[in-house]
Structure 1
Amino acid sequence: MTLLHTALDPTAPDHQANRATMLAKLADLEAEHAKALAGGGEKYVARHRKRGKLLARERIELLVDPDTPFLELSPLAAWGSEYTVGASLVTGIGVVEGTECLITANDATVRGGASNPWSLKKALRANEIARANRLPVISLVESGGADLPSQKEIFIPGGAIFRDLTRLSAEGIPTVAVVFGNSTAGGAYVPGMSDHVIMVKERAKVFLGGPPLVKMATGEESDDESLGGAEMHARTSGLADHFAVDERDAIRQARRVVARLNHRKAYADPAVAEPPKYDPEELLGIVPGDLRTPFDPREVIARLVDASDFDEFKPLYGTSLVTGWAELHGYPVGILANARGVLFSEESQKAAQFIQLANQRDLPLLFLHNTTGYMVGKEYEQGGIVKHGSMMINAVSNSKVPHLSVLMGASYGAGHYGMCGRAYDPRFLFAWPSAKSAVMGPQQLAGVLSIVARQSALAKGQPYDEDGDAALRAMVEGQIESESLPMFLSGRLYDDGVIDPRDTRTVLGMCLSAIHTAPYEGARGGFGVFRM
């Protein structure tokens, strides 16, 4: 065993200061999560309950196995937009009858569960996760279809929801729809394209057009129940495979459907792993409040991996990037973690080799971000930083093993790409409240714009407005600072959630377990041309 030793002193003033800063950010995060949990607000929650209905998360809680966790994904979707935080949809991974499933649930307290542009993006991300990891999909449906005022942003791309359901089924990934209420217009195709359909008596309403639309289109008089009620679909149309007397019965039947799926993991679960030697509570004090201050990622690794056992690869070369092998909840992984922010040519070449080795051994990769990007300057350009940075990005792009990313601190510029940012399809990507991500730091970006403006004025022979320059820099710094924060980025689904650092090991363990439901194999060659 190669035990990582710690130099952390939890009583030190800097650790205590870092901890206080992180706790303040976690309090802010909790307040934003509370907005998602509130759904449409007290008025609409009370109306929903008065109708004898369970809330979306209550349905999920009854669906998953007792005393098992539910990993909610993208809870801050739509944050900072005109739409309700959470985007009227709950998505996540939970265990049902011993089977890991991707679960989605419409929040009917928000505009009747209607889909807006952010709920569409959230649903498509959930389908992407289900397909990549071969997770059965359970849709808990109660939706009026598209939020009509925003139809221009939903209708064209929204067809991908139904495409995904049919592709999942074609690939042997089970899909289950449990209909609790309205499933209207486009929403009717969710049960229509699912493998198994359960409908609740006198509650489920599945039709392409409700009675008013039918009246307008055909002149026919009809009522909800005869047009699209659960009993009609169970007895007459055949759309319903199972007829439930109430919501709890529907959830019970959904669990029985999953129990009979015979859906098997590609890999056996590992034996119970030894926890880290160090207290995860100490993770709160590792990342400085000022991200320009470096920190040792080994202190993070020591509190994530099994038994704090880590075999470092090339420890004396390219020391701004820590690479090595470990196990996490019994699953072997390769880890790449930024040490001092900047990536030089040595770090880039080291990363490319390490990624190739992981692919040779079929080992998933975990990327722990704290990078300001690739080094700039004449010396480094002449030394080949462009081709070496490109080599690292090439390796990440063409790697075939599953990738996991956690943004701990900065994740700027092309360094975000080289460390497997969202555009490079990590299976899962999470951020700590301390994280920031943008094309570059706020001060640097504002400074670049200032220099360009100053040079432009000089070239035109015009005097430069110093007061205007100061105002511009302050405005740009404020804008970039707000747009690089994790809640802003999470609201746009650039990550799968902002998490408490203390939960990182648990979250990654659940993700690794889900990843091992599907078979995978590393790239054996197949990388692009490495410019040497």
Structure 2
Amino acid sequence: MSFVSSFDATTPVAQARRAAMLARIGQWRALEERAAAASAKSLPVFEKRGQLLPRQRVALLLDAGAPWLPLCSLAGYLQDHKDPSKTVPGGGMVAGIGFVSGVRCMVVASDSGIDAGAIGAGGLEKILRVQEIALQNKLPFIHLVESAGANLMKYRVEGFVLGGGLFRNLARLSAAGLPVITVQHGSGTAGGAYMPGLSDVVIMVRGRSRAFLAGPPLLKAATGETATEEELGGAEMHTGVSGLGEHLAEDDRQALGMAREVVGRLGWRANALTPALSQRERGQPPLYPADDLLSLMPETLREPVDMREVMARLADGSELLEFKALYGAATLCVQARIEGHEVGFISNNGPIDVAGANKATHFIQQMCQLGHPLIYLQNTTGYMVGKDSEQGGMIKHGSKMIQAVTNATVPQITLQCGASYGAGNYGMCGRAYAPRFLFSWPNARTAVMGGEQAASTMRTVAEAGLLRKGITPDPAEMQQQYDRIVELFESQADAFYTSGLGLDDGIIDPRETRAVLAQCLHICAEAEARVVRPMQFGVARM
């Protein structure tokens, strides 16, 4: 039955919440624009070389007007510079899921307009994550390469060691039967040369593509040998002599056209995988406007929210079938549809208590029995604490819920709408529980606990420790410690900060939530329908 909303978006409280959310969205969009603007500064250089900027390449590769799901756009935020006004997010690359010649693909492009495409802070985590998404969802992997490789000015040995996972994943993708297609727009040196080396199809650009283990300066220093870039790793050499490249293009545009033709020959068009749904099967849009999602969440996250109001603005026809509505009522388990896809929502109208944990466990298992994807709308302060809760077996019942989340056999998608505190982050399928996708609203907060709660706990412990030693606590020092802890927790709980660390797959505008969830559900359904031909090894270059 359709949910009857009691929310009034015209009240002063709702309007204040809307203004606060719009401000956060504006800050987020400004950060994304900062990266695009930094890359666009290189346009005169690119035009002089007859090249396209990275975002122009992505736009030409993708089908015009088709859906595009950007991923991890804030990667590296506050990691390269601690000053928010100087940090450039994005990790040195553009990534997302879109359609190429009618085939849904993972697309990654080196942002060579910034630091020559060197992989920035967060860039490694970003590419490893999107490779994993491609593997899970059986997506072809298209890589538009022009990169100086690792940023040696910010060298860290762990980046070098863990960076090998990038190449391992290319081999895993190929062996899993998922084509790896590289357009080599510019240089790929040392480790970067293994990007085309581990691809199934490589397209090179005459006069621009370079791929070598050691460039002329390093070669001269190491062996004394003198050679030109073209002799060592030019496009003509690799397509005519070494065999590293399959196709030789005259410029970026032709190379991207070749890539589109290669993908078109896969025979993997999305509509050939899943039958088209009628309008009736796709379901009706929600009864309530998506704009309301700007006004539902309080800025401080301390005020209660009925998360059914959120579900009603995501579900087809706002039709919600609530499971055990009167049992463990603070934990919501609801069946619904999104663009015709059957789903199970799990959310929180308060802490997860014993009954709520048991209800969620039951519901997760039932959705697995039915084969319905699970969508977690996180807004939780965690599991219930206290004498009654402990004696009621909160630990063991919460553990059952975590067992169910961990071992669920259906796709799980997590959306951090508000608070994500304590073990509630775990029980509600946080990043560590490998949801198929995880996105955050700009207002979301993630922490082991709230900053004030943490500071109060530490002040109590510190004061007790001093008193045991016969020392009277200094109120000024205790307040300074309190303030430091609050600032530490609050700064790291911010959605922009956690997104910069790669703890989600990106920030989304609340108004776009239904569209994003629908894309994710379509991707999961296509993955289920797609038949691939795994091999023992990836395709070896000959």
The TM-score bracket by the shorter chain reads over 0.9
| 1:79 is aligned to 2:77 | yes
1:336·1:368 contact (CA, 8 Å) conserved in 2?
A: yes
Which residue does the alignment assign to 1:343?
352
1:269·1:513 contact (CA, 8 Å) conserved in 2?
A: no
- Which letter does structure 2 place at the counterpart of 1:398? N
Q: Choose from 177, 181, 185 the match for 2:182.
A: 177
Where does the alignment leave 5 or more consecutive residues of structure 1 unmatched?
521-532
2: CA distance between counterparts of 1:93 and 1:277? 29
- Which letter does structure 2 place at the counterpart of 1:356? Q
Which residue does the alignment assign to 1:92?
96
| 1:249 is aligned to 2:258 | no
1: CA distance between counterparts of 2:80 and 2:166? 23
1:178·1:254 contact (CA, 8 Å) conserved in 2?
A: yes
1: CA distance between counterparts of 2:278 and 2:200? 33
Which residue does the alignment assign to 1:126?
130
Cα drift, residue 506 of structure 1:
0.9
2:80·2:120 contact (CA, 8 Å) conserved in 1?
A: no
2:79·2:122 contact (CA, 8 Å) conserved in 1?
A: no
Which residue does the alignment assign to 1:297?
307
| 1:362 is aligned to 2:366 | no
| 1:466 is aligned to 2:464 | no
Give the alignment of 1:109-258 within 5 angstroms: 109-149=113-153, 150-258=155-263
What TM-score results when the alignment is normalised by the length of structure 1? 0.95
1:367·1:406 contact (CA, 8 Å) conserved in 2?
A: yes
What is the aligned-residue RMSD (CA, Å)? 1.4
Cα drift, residue 517 of structure 1:
2.4
- Which letter does structure 1 place at the counterpart of 2:324? K
Which residue does the alignment assign to 1:5?
4
1: CA distance between counterparts of 2:156 and 2:298? 44
Instruction: Say which is worse superposed, 47-56 or 141-150, in terms of deviation.
Output: 47-56
Which residue does the alignment assign to 1:275?
285
1: CA distance between counterparts of 2:247 and 2:218? 27
Give the alignment of 1:383-462 within 5 angstroms: 383-462=392-471
User: Per-residue displacement from partner, 1:426-481 (whole Å, max 9, x unpaired)?
Assistant: 01101101110100011111111011101111221211111111111112111211
Other structure's SS at 1:516 match: helix
Other structure's SS at 2:335 match: strand
Cα drift, residue 81 of structure 1:
1.5
What TM-score results when the alignment is normalised by the length of structure 2? 0.93
1: CA distance between counterparts of 2:152 and 2:135? 29
Cα drift, residue 375 of structure 1:
0.9
2:76·2:120 contact (CA, 8 Å) conserved in 1?
A: no
Cα drift, residue 33 of structure 1:
1.4
- The count of residues paired between Structure 1 and Structure 2 equals 517
User: In the superposition, relative to structure 1, how do residues 260 and 4 fare at CA in structure 2: closer, same or farther (>3 Å)?
Assistant: same
2: CA distance between counterparts of 1:508 and 1:313? 21
1:430·1:497 contact (CA, 8 Å) conserved in 2?
A: yes
Which residue does the alignment assign to 2:386?
377
2: CA distance between counterparts of 1:331 and 1:215? 60
2: CA distance between counterparts of 1:154 and 1:4? 50
Q: Choose from 500, 504, 508 the match for 1:491.
A: 500
User: Per-residue displacement from partner, 1:387-430 (whole Å, max 9, x unpaired)?
Assistant: 11111111101112111001111000000100000000001101
Cα drift, residue 153 of structure 1:
3.0
Cα drift, residue 264 of structure 1:
6.1
Cα drift, residue 327 of structure 1:
1.1
Which residue does the alignment assign to 1:523?
none
- Which letter does structure 1 place at the counterpart of 2:89? V
Instruction: Say which is worse superposed, 231-240 or 191-200, in terms of deviation.
Output: 231-240
Question: How high is the sequence identity, in percent, across the aligned residues?
Answer: 46
1: CA distance between counterparts of 2:448 and 2:426? 11
1: CA distance between counterparts of 2:220 and 2:421? 56
1:117·1:153 contact (CA, 8 Å) conserved in 2?
A: no
Instruction: Say which is worse superposed, 470-479 or 362-371, in terms of deviation.
Output: 470-479
2: CA distance between counterparts of 1:262 and 1:463? 76
Moved >4 Å (runs of 4+): 264-267
Where does the alignment leave 5 or more consecutive residues of structure 2 unmatched?
82-87, 530-542
User: Per-residue displacement from partner, 1:170-199 (whole Å, max 9, x unpaired)?
Assistant: 110111000111111111111111111101
Which residue does the alignment assign to 2:537?
none
- Which letter does structure 1 place at the counterpart of 2:447? A
